[in-house]
Structure 1
């Protein structure tokens, strides 16, 4: 069905090009037969102590999967003998059945945890979209191992009533115990608290735990080879391809510098942002909203295990290689004047107030440099990451970026879906904090294509609602907003920008409750409050004039859940970005 949809989409876009952009209807989708169930199935809920964001359709799918597992454990084989299809089995047989079904689930877990598989290529599902299923199948499989493990402990102890025999009565018993320790290590270190706050612990324990579990399981029971080895080989090939991409694809680190916050307060405040500017050959395959895995290692502390710090990051901006400048004449002059005016205003504000962030002094030069990157001729694609100092890794990076340290930089990607916003007349983007980065690339892509008169992009209105903490965070991305407005002013195809910025922590001086971005057309800045989600959604719907909206959000789970459910009620096409690795 996904491949049929891709063909229909391709044909519809060809028709738009041939007609000069007059055909604007979104093509028929084979998935539309499920449209009546979409508002219920896509509705997101919170399950206490389990997950804070999961669609109802996934809950139903997991329940059905558990039922199928129980059927296989209780009733397989369906024909025990001629004329007999079911009989009550002994505990010693049922626990083995549960273990074998668990191994089947774990064999699928390896496939769902691989970044490059035939599943992602053929189904349209992406790596980060499959990761929740990876976790669910792993947990179900682990739960199916537990009856086998517990019964064998009881059985081993009852043999001679020796405590040691409960776990290590013989080689088979001992290897089973070691395998279970490996699976237990995986299970315990995969909880969200550890995964998000101690990613290195999660990552390393995954590698160590799975090696222990696989070797011990195959030693414990030869039948495990049939389940584990084929999928492990697929994972190994995926690992080889990822290593080739990250170690042999040319990558050049251009600049690492703090653009918001002061490095000296990085350990106390989560407001600092580090910008990484780089060249990467595979950027030509990048689609807006996709992400990369990267490792950025300080050369003065270069240790082998530091290369295990592979972190998923979305790009904040792409500077594609161009043979000619993107625009000429008044548009280029206007943006230059706007950026220079921005630098002058910021310098004047610093002189008047005598305060500012540690990075403000050099911001005007940085803005001019980045502004030139958007238009200059170059032969290599460039991109940028913006990383907020939220954890130990990013806080250390903020401090080191201000100290002129040398870094070793590797990348793997891009990964993620093709976000088909261009088939909708209205695009709505909601972001919280640094979660704005995928929205930035989407807006820039839309603005540049509409400015260039690309007929396959029918988007006429873009709404961006962004909640952030401080003015410093906003200033780190202000020059991008300037660029968008200038491109829209001279676009070949009309595009309306509607940008709402909410600063939840305004300056203490109420006289400064005005930001220069408010002087740009379509930009509103609100101080001291958060966005009212229902009100923002109603505003977008009232301005859509009945057109279907493409909705994207990135932020905390509670933030995204409210936005997604509001969009689902209106039958909008929704997408969320979150890394649940």
Structure 2
């Protein structure tokens, strides 16, 4: 537990502040509407559900203000650059942008449910009090619009006993926008489930853009002013503490109490979301501008296991290791943009990506390049954007773990190391790199075989053989491959990869790996970087906590996972 706190204290602090603000806003708004004199008469009709509806609305406004900010990729990249002198703990929070986006979305769903349920009770009570003929205060308040020429005095939005709740819902601004926003939210949340994102990305991509409908609806939701309170002038003339019990004498000219006057609350949601929406609009304009810059494809390589490598050039394109770009192919889809990690190094005169067939869009892109040699399909690129892998050279010791195509960010890092050593860069803080690549099939190792071979030779020529410790793990094999490997174990190079490092069969024993690294570097800060599945992430995260020392002067493991 102590190690977990050491590694995640700032994340816990951020979440605590966010949750604290949600609780504060809910309680503040609840007390305002449950105790405030201005809403005394409104509570006579609605009861405590008035306060529940308004408190959840406050929290909805707050979280709707936050929901777009984690999606401003250029803003996050800018903050990462300006935070280059901040501690790694501060910078790591930027890598949790998607997690925070999801948490805020869950909070919006929670308060939407509270808001809807509360208003269902509210409209039921509006309807019952409008039809009531018992002479109660609630019935008199509901009939005020019939006794006053000034339409601004009404309190109950159901103006006629024959008017149904459904009619009010679909004809009022608040009701109609509420229904539309709820439908948009349900579609966005359900289409964002992992199953749909992984298997039907296009459905997720298009449906998630209903956020525009949600934001527009939220901005105008409160214009109708259905929730009403007593006016200040009326409060001075007919305060509820003095006149509520004398409501039967309101029409008496000799009574000092008069009919209270009411006004709708002004729309407030737009004030919460205006700044984030403007910021996001600028973000999208910048993305569009950058995406329109010409991209020249200089080389196309088809690797085994249907992996396409694209090498490209673009005017003014500058990158750092481990960054990613968004790619669009207009001939396949005008609107779809997909993220890919850059596999080239900043020192190279081009930038490259490796694309594995993993869905309709990638299948179509690979086929387009297989069938058409010249001219190539037009490609648009937005980025690059920063990721956690940018910090790899900030650690004395780095553990790089890639699963399958998840090796791509580490290819960029290893290429950059190769260039740094070739040009005798002595400012490299990193003293040791442990690289683990886990693949299901032997063909995958061919993607970066040349790179690993070059690194082996370069380290040997420079007398830095111990700098890079890499291990390749094959998790899917048959008896023929295993038998062949056993028979040729004494060969100087591996029969599967041609490298001096032999391929391991099975999965890494992470406890053994972490234990040996902790023993070899008892006073170092070790950065653990993963691009792979959640199950592997959980295993590595547990090992980071287990093998980090509570003494900050001894070995510390910091877990970092690629998220985009």
TM (norm. structure 1) is 0.70
SS at match of 2:68: helix
TM-superposed CA distance for 1:480, in Å, is 0.7
Whole-angstrom CA distance in 2 between matches of 1:446 and 1:69? 46
Whole-angstrom CA distance in 2 between matches of 1:531 and 1:155? 59
Q: In structure 2, what is the equivalent of residue 213 of structure 1?
A: 214
SS at match of 1:317: coil
Whole-angstrom CA distance in 2 between matches of 1:575 and 1:291? 19
Whole-angstrom CA distance in 2 between matches of 1:163 and 1:83? 27
TM-superposed CA distance for 1:382, in Å, is 0.7
Asked if the contact 2:369/2:377 (under 8 Å) is kept, the reply is: no
2:455 to 471, 484, 490: 484
Q: In structure 1, what is the equivalent of residue 254 of structure 2?
A: none
State whether structure 2 residue 365 is matched by structure 1 residue 397.
yes
State whether structure 2 residue 93 is matched by structure 1 residue 109.
no
Q: 1:81 to 1:246 in 2, by over 3 A?
A: closer
Q: 1:464 to 1:168 in 2, by over 3 A?
A: same
Asked if the contact 1:152/1:166 (under 8 Å) is kept, the reply is: no
TM-superposed CA distance for 1:238, in Å, is 0.7
Q: In structure 1, what is the equivalent of residue 288 of structure 2?
A: 243
Q: Which moved more, 1:114-123 or 1:220-229?
A: 114-123
Whole-angstrom CA distance in 2 between matches of 1:444 and 1:39? 33
SS at match of 1:407: coil
Unaligned runs of 5+ in 2: 84-90, 128-161, 223-266, 489-493, 549-555
SS at match of 2:503: strand
Whole-angstrom CA distance in 2 between matches of 1:166 and 1:79? 26
Q: Which moved more, 1:505-514 or 1:452-461?
A: 505-514
Q: In structure 2, what is the equivalent of residue 288 of structure 1?
A: 321
Q: In structure 1, what is the equivalent of residue 347 of structure 2?
A: 320
Whole-angstrom CA distance in 1 between matches of 2:92 and 2:399? 22
TM-superposed CA distance for 1:460, in Å, is 3.0
2:18 to 52, 65, 75: 65
Whole-angstrom CA distance in 2 between matches of 1:193 and 1:225? 34
Q: 1:456 to 1:573 in 2, by over 3 A?
A: farther
TM-superposed CA distance for 1:471, in Å, is 1.7
Q: In structure 2, what is the equivalent of residue 412 of structure 1?
A: 382
1:502 to 456, 473, 488: 473
1:152 to 108, 119, 131: 119
TM-superposed CA distance for 1:524, in Å, is 2.4
TM-superposed CA distance for 1:563, in Å, is 1.5
Q: Could you report, residue by residue, the CA deviation over 1:223-269 in whole angstroms, capped at 9, with x for unpaired residues? A: 22211222111100011111111112x321123342113xxxxxxxx
Whole-angstrom CA distance in 2 between matches of 1:82 and 1:434? 59
TM-superposed CA distance for 1:81, in Å, is 13
Q: 1:152 to 1:443 in 2, by over 3 A?
A: same
State whether structure 2 residue 496 is matched by structure 1 residue 462.
no
2:100 to 130, 133, 141: 133
Q: Could you report, residue by residue, the CA deviation over 1:438-486 in whole angstroms, capped at 9, with x for unpaired residues? A: 1122122223323422222033322111110122111121101111112
Q: Which moved more, 1:122-131 or 1:493-502?
A: 122-131
Q: Greater relative contact order: 1 or 2 (C-alpha under 8 angstroms, separation 6 or more)?
A: 1
Asked if the contact 2:341/2:408 (under 8 Å) is kept, the reply is: yes
TM-superposed CA distance for 1:561, in Å, is 1.6
Q: 1:520 to 1:181 in 2, by over 3 A?
A: closer
For 1:101-500, what aligned pairs fall within 5 Å after superposition?
A: 101-117=59-75, 120=80, 122=82, 124=91, 128-157=95-124, 159=127, 162=164, 164-165=166-167, 167-168=169-170, 170-207=172-209, 209-221=210-222, 222-248=267-293, 250-261=294-305, 272-284=306-318, 286-297=319-330, 302=331, 306-318=333-345, 320-321=347-348, 381-404=349-372, 406-417=376-387, 419-491=390-462, 496-500=467-471
Whole-angstrom CA distance in 2 between matches of 1:434 and 1:385? 11
Asked if the contact 2:326/2:339 (under 8 Å) is kept, the reply is: yes
TM-superposed CA distance for 1:310, in Å, is 0.9
Unaligned runs of 5+ in 1: 1-35, 43-54, 262-271, 322-380
Q: Could you report, residue by residue, the CA deviation over 1:378-433 in whole angstroms, capped at 9, with x for unpaired residues? A: xxx21221122222222333333322263111111111246333344422211111
Q: 1:63 to 1:167 in 2, by over 3 A?
A: farther
Whole-angstrom CA distance in 2 between matches of 1:423 and 1:214? 40
Asked if the contact 2:307/2:354 (under 8 Å) is kept, the reply is: yes
TM-superposed CA distance for 1:307, in Å, is 2.6
Asked if the contact 1:560/1:576 (under 8 Å) is kept, the reply is: no
Q: 1:155 to 1:94 in 2, by over 3 A?
A: closer
Q: In structure 2, what is the equivalent of residue 579 of structure 1?
A: 563
SS at match of 1:429: strand
TM-superposed CA distance for 1:76, in Å, is 4.3
Q: In structure 2, what is the equivalent of residue 327 of structure 1?
A: none
Whole-angstrom CA distance in 2 between matches of 1:422 and 1:200? 36
Whole-angstrom CA distance in 1 between matches of 2:367 and 2:219? 46
Asked if the contact 1:195/1:202 (under 8 Å) is kept, the reply is: yes
- Root-mean-square deviation (CA), in Å? 3.3
Q: Could you report, residue by residue, the CA deviation over 1:153-180 in whole angstroms, capped at 9, with x for unpaired residues? A: 3433552584623732533322222222
Q: 1:458 to 1:493 in 2, by over 3 A?
A: farther
Whole-angstrom CA distance in 2 between matches of 1:519 and 1:173? 68
Q: In structure 1, what is the equivalent of residue 235 of structure 2?
A: none
Whole-angstrom CA distance in 2 between matches of 1:421 and 1:111? 25
Asked if the contact 2:344/2:353 (under 8 Å) is kept, the reply is: yes
TM (norm. structure 2) is 0.72
SS at match of 1:427: strand
SS at match of 1:430: strand
Asked if the contact 1:425/1:549 (under 8 Å) is kept, the reply is: yes
Whole-angstrom CA distance in 1 between matches of 2:64 and 2:163? 33
Q: 1:224 to 1:81 in 2, by over 3 A?
A: closer
SS at match of 1:164: helix
Q: 1:422 to 1:69 in 2, by over 3 A?
A: closer
Whole-angstrom CA distance in 1 between matches of 2:182 and 2:495? 60
Q: Could you report, residue by residue, the CA deviation over 1:498-526 in whole angstroms, capped at 9, with x for unpaired residues? A: 221111223553454263477645x2212
2:4 to 21, 39, 57: 39
> Larger C-alpha radius of gyration, 1 or 2?
2
Q: In structure 2, what is the equivalent of residue 349 of structure 1?
A: none
Whole-angstrom CA distance in 2 between matches of 1:130 and 1:483? 36
Aligned length: 452
